Amino acid sequence: MKKKYPDTLPDIQIIEEKDKRLRLKSKDVTFPLPDEDIKRIHDMLDYLEMSQVPEICEKFNMRAGMGLAYIQLGIAKRIFVIVYEVEEGVFERYVVVNPKVKSTSEEMVYIEEGEGCLSINRPTTGIVPRHARMKLIAYDEYGEQYELRVREELAVAFQHELDHLDGILFTDKIDSKNPFKGKDIYRSI
């Protein structure tokens, strides 16, 4: 049975790269989170999932997105969400609050088609080196702590969003003089 989505998008206003707030370092939050934060987190998750459904994406003229950090809404709190499509129409949702990286792999990878970002509305090319695997500790929106191991595309998405929390954009990691530097060293995924 096909999932039913609402007729309107959640009210998510994503700021673009020229907005200086994207460069702010986000601050840890305390629990319990206010109700408006919990609602916003769920709206962000719904928005991302809807953006990955082709007919909804087309209907609302959206760009598909896998992750979204609070700072992309102009709010400097250490919160991000990821929605990962594990198979067609089946999504895993991750709420990541106050994350701490425990370990990363030595192996480095990059997304062959290049990374994208809902805050960067221009074509970009180049290699963004990322760890192939990582382990982190974080909290969900209700203050429950968990530990998570992620790998491959999911690890890349987590590192992309972790960078947002520190005011770093993926384009900062592309070598401007040699955008494909590392192609012969890193594994493409």
Is 52 inside a domain boundary? yes
Is 179 inside a domain boundary? yes
Q: Which of 173, 175, 174 is nearest to 162 (CA)?
A: 173
Number of domains composing the chain: 1
Please report, for the domain that includes residue 100, its CATH number: 3.90.45.10
Ordered DSSP codes for the chain: -PPP--SS-----PPPTTSGGGGSPPB---SSPPHHHHHHHHHHHHHHHHHTSHHHHHHTTPPP-SEEEGGGGT--BSEEEEEEEEETTEEEEEEEEEEEEEEE-S-EEE-TT---BTTB-S---S---EESEEEEEEE-TTS-EEEEEEEHHHHHHHHHHHHHHTT--GGGGS-SS-TTTTTTTSEE-
Is 29 inside a domain boundary? yes
Q: What CA–CA distance (Å, rounded) separates 176 from 128?
A: 11
Model pLDDT for residues 8-57, shown as the tens digit of each residue: 999 999 999 999 999 999 999 999 999 999 999 999 999 999 999 999 99
Is 130 inside a domain boundary? yes
Could you tell me what percent of the chain has a pLDDT over 90? 95
Catalytic residue among 49, 115, 141, 161: 161
* Mean pLDDT, rounded, for 73-94: 96
Residue 143, number of CB atoms within 10 A of its CB: 13
Q: Is 161 designated active site?
A: yes
Q: What CA–CA distance (Å, rounded) separates 160 from 158?
A: 5
Is 98 inside a domain boundary? yes
pTM value? 0.96
Residue 2 has pLDDT above 80, yes or no: no
Model pLDDT for residues 145-187, shown as the tens digit of each residue: 999 999 999 999 999 999 999 999 999 999 999 999 999 999 9
Is 5 inside a domain boundary? no
Model pLDDT for residues 86-106, shown as the tens digit of each residue: 999 999 999 999 999 999 999
Which domain, by its residues, includes 150? 20-188
Is 6 inside a domain boundary? no
Contact call for residues 147 and 135 (beta carbons, < 8 A): yes
Is 182 inside a domain boundary? yes
Contact call for residues 170 and 26 (beta carbons, < 8 A): no
